[in-house]
Amino acid sequence: MSKPFPSDDPFLRGYYAPLHMECEAPNLPISGEWPRELNGWLYRNGPNPQFAPRGPYHWFAGDGMLHAFQVADGRVAYRNRWVRTPKWELEHAEGEGLSGAFGNPRFSDPRIVALGSTLANTNVVWHAGRLLALEEAHAPFEVDPVTLAPKGSHDFGGKLVGPMTAHPKLDAQSGEMVFFGYGAKGRLTPDVALHLVDRSGVLRRSQWLRAPYPSMVHDFVVTRDWIVLPIFPLTGSVERALKGLPPYAWEPDKGTHVALVPRSGSAAQARWFSGDPCYVFHPMNAFDTADGKVVCDMMKYPVAPLFPAPDGRPASGEPPAATLVRWTFDPQGHGDAFSETPLDDRPGEFPRLDERYTALPYRHGWFQAGEITRAQRGRDARDGLAHIDHATGAVHVWMPEPGDKCGEPVFVPRRADAPEGDGFVLSVVFRGETQCSDLAVFDAQHLKDGPLARVHLSHRVPAGFHGNWRDAA
């Protein structure tokens, strides 16, 4: 018999609590007028533990659950499914949770440890005709793009050795997918693998880079000429794990290190830069300037959130908040320093762009305006959406009703050849008053005017991470 979920963990209550059902809704009610230009699928992924965990829970450690909204001719259908990974299947058969957070062997059944299964709980990406559910410690897990049924682990025909990041970069110009995997030569090792997949889905190139220390590297950026890989002092340690201490912990004395690897060269040609300790879960974009510099827009935390110090104590007094900054590197210059310029001072997360401009100079960006790492806040707390115009520096914000929370904004162009930023932003919005969720659509450059339309669900979509749009065939 399955055990009840703990009631004292803020990431298992309220907006964060798991959904205990799968369902289908073929024709959801809509308030407002859904844009007729939008036809396709919005996929969203996030942690949704099937059973109560063994030992302490971490928000990043729940089973993946996909939420799919199918849009056709102004009508919207919905389906949600757990990602049926080997770990999920074993626990489902046993009727109880068998795993500690991050597969901690102190709390996990040996069968779970032996599986080495992905959670597939962080992102979902469409590339080369495949829908891939991703997390950062394993190979991707393929699912059917319509039914969300499992197809199994995808290792690019046996060519992928080690894990794949949850945040690959899709080059709109070439159709290539660039990605990395940390802990590439074993869990909690300092080795990072860099990979290139062509537009047809064939893994064409792999190379290895050795970081200054083992680090949790969640995301990265690419430009036309460079792969930019940041190494932050959220360190991994086998020794700590074996002692029952945190496998990942904040060690600011190690500083921040950033590798610039030439896309047309090799990892051996990496140019390393160093800076003050900080952490970035998610960048917005990066690009090369006309004078050869590299610009990276990052949502920066002063302290790594959601993880402790090496002795298990909190790394900061209050949950830290991220703000948007611009880093500028000079690969041709002397020294290893880089500059930082603030772009906006409001707390935020989940930055996105018009991804036709990934790795290129760009003007428009969007982000969730709020503090996702602070799970317990007053009833009046709310998380909205922000649009930044990098040409003018203007930031416009839309805030929902008190108690409501917006998820990651996903941009969809009005048409394939529309100018940059001409289109729509989609976000799953939790309604605190009704404890249900809406899919909201906004005019991308007029967020402050509020949603053009809302699609209403009769249940809550739990706090999650990332999603992406796929145009109708």
Q: Give the model confidence (pLDDT) of 147-179 as tens digits.
A: 999 999 999 999 999 999 999 999 999 999 999
Phi, psi values for residue 86, rounded to 5°: -55, -40
pLDDT of residue 57: 92
Residue 60 sits at φ, ψ, to 5 deg, of: -80, 0
Pairing of strands 423-431, 410-413: antiparallel
Is the pLDDT reported for residue 116 higher than 70? Answer: yes
Question: Is the CB of residue 258 less than 8 Å from the CB of residue 240?
Answer: no
Answer whether residue 425 shows pLDDT above 70: yes
* Cβ-contact 16, 461 below 8 angstroms: no
315 neighbors 247 (Cβ within 8 angstroms): no
Closest CA to 105 of 54, 58, 59: 54
* Within a domain: 376: yes
The pLDDT value given to residue 42: 98
Where residue 1 falls among pLDDT bands split at 50, 70, 90? low
Q: CA-CA distance, 178 to 165, in Å (whole number)?
A: 10
The more confidently predicted of residues 142 and 378 is 142
Query: Nearest 5°: phi and psi at 117?
Result: -80, 145
Distances (CA, A) of 2 to 18, 42, 44, 52, 302: 14, 32, 27, 7, 40
| Most confident of the ranges 94-108, 242-256, 280-294 | 280-294
Residue 134 lies in a domain: yes
- Cα–Cα distance between 84 and 380 in angstroms, integer? 37
- Sort strands 234-236 and 248-250 into parallel, antiparallel or unpaired: antiparallel
Q: Where are the beta strands (DSSP E) in 138-278?
A: 141-143, 150-153, 169-170, 177-182, 191-197, 203-210, 221-222, 226-231, 234-236, 248-250, 256-262, 271-275
Average pLDDT for 371-395: 85
5 is a domain residue: no
Which CATH number covers residue 228? 2.120.10.30
- Of the candidates 250, 463, 436, 284, which has an alpha carbon nearest to the alpha carbon of residue 375? 463
Give burial (CB, 10 Å; 0-12/13-18/19+) of 242: exposed
For residue 230, CA distances in Å to 193, 234, 262, 447 come to 13, 11, 14, 31
The answer, yes or no, to whether residue 115 has pLDDT greater than 70, is: yes
Query: Does residue 4 form part of some domain?
Result: no
Helix, strand, coil fractions of the chain, as percent rounded to 5: 10, 40, 50
Q: Please tell me which residue, 1 or 15, carries the higher pLDDT value.
A: 15
pLDDT of 378 reads 62
**Rg over CA atoms, the chain:** 21
Burial 350-377 (b: 16+ CB within 10 A, else e): bbbbbbbbbbbbbebbbbbbbbbbbbee
> Mind listing the pLDDT tens digit for each residue in 324-379?
999 999 999 999 999 999 999 999 999 999 999 999 999 999 999 998 778 766 66
Beta bridge partners of 43: 68, 468
pLDDT at 100: 87
As for how many domains the chain has, the answer is 1
Taking 90 as the threshold, does the pLDDT of residue 139 lie above it?
yes
**CA torsion angle 317 318 319 325 (round to 10):** -100
Task: Retrieve residue 138's tokens.
Answer: 């394993």
Top pLDDT among 371 and 272 is at 272
% residues pLDDT > 70 (the chain):
99
Identity of residue 113:
V
Q: Output the CA torsion 118→159→198→262 (10° steps).
A: 90
Domain range for 61 is 10-471
- Alpha-carbon gap, residue 126 to 144, rounded angstroms: 11
241 within some domain? yes
Q: Give residue-wise pLDDT tens across range 17-34.
A: 999 999 999 999 999 999
Q: Which two tokens stand for residue 174?
A: 């070439």
> Average pLDDT, whole number, for the chain?
95
Q: Is residue 1 part of a domain?
A: no
- Only one residue has tokens 């609590």, namely 17
Residue owning tokens 């659950």 = 65
Please give the average per-residue pLDDT across 74-101, as a whole number. 96
Average pLDDT estimate for 239-252: 90
Fill in the amino acid letter for 139.
A
Cα atoms in the Cβ-side hemisphere of radius 13 Å centred on 224: 12
What residues does 179 pair with on adjacent strands?
Answer: 195
Is 196 within the bounds of a domain? Answer: yes
pLDDT score of 271 more than 90: yes
**Residue 67: its pLDDT value, please?**
98
Query: Looking at residue 337, what is its pLDDT?
Result: 97
Question: Nearest-5° angle of CA 57, CA 61, CA 65?
Answer: 125
SS3 44: strand
pLDDT for position 245: 87
For the segment 189-222, what is each residue's pLDDT rounded down to a tens digit? 999 999 999 999 999 999 999 999 999 999 999 9
Strand 40-47 to 467-471 pairing = antiparallel
Residue 156, domain member (yes or no): yes
User: Coil, helix or strand for 93?
Assistant: helix
pTM of the model: 0.96
Query: From residue 282, how far is each of 40, 67, 122, 408 by CA, in Å?
Result: 25, 21, 12, 11
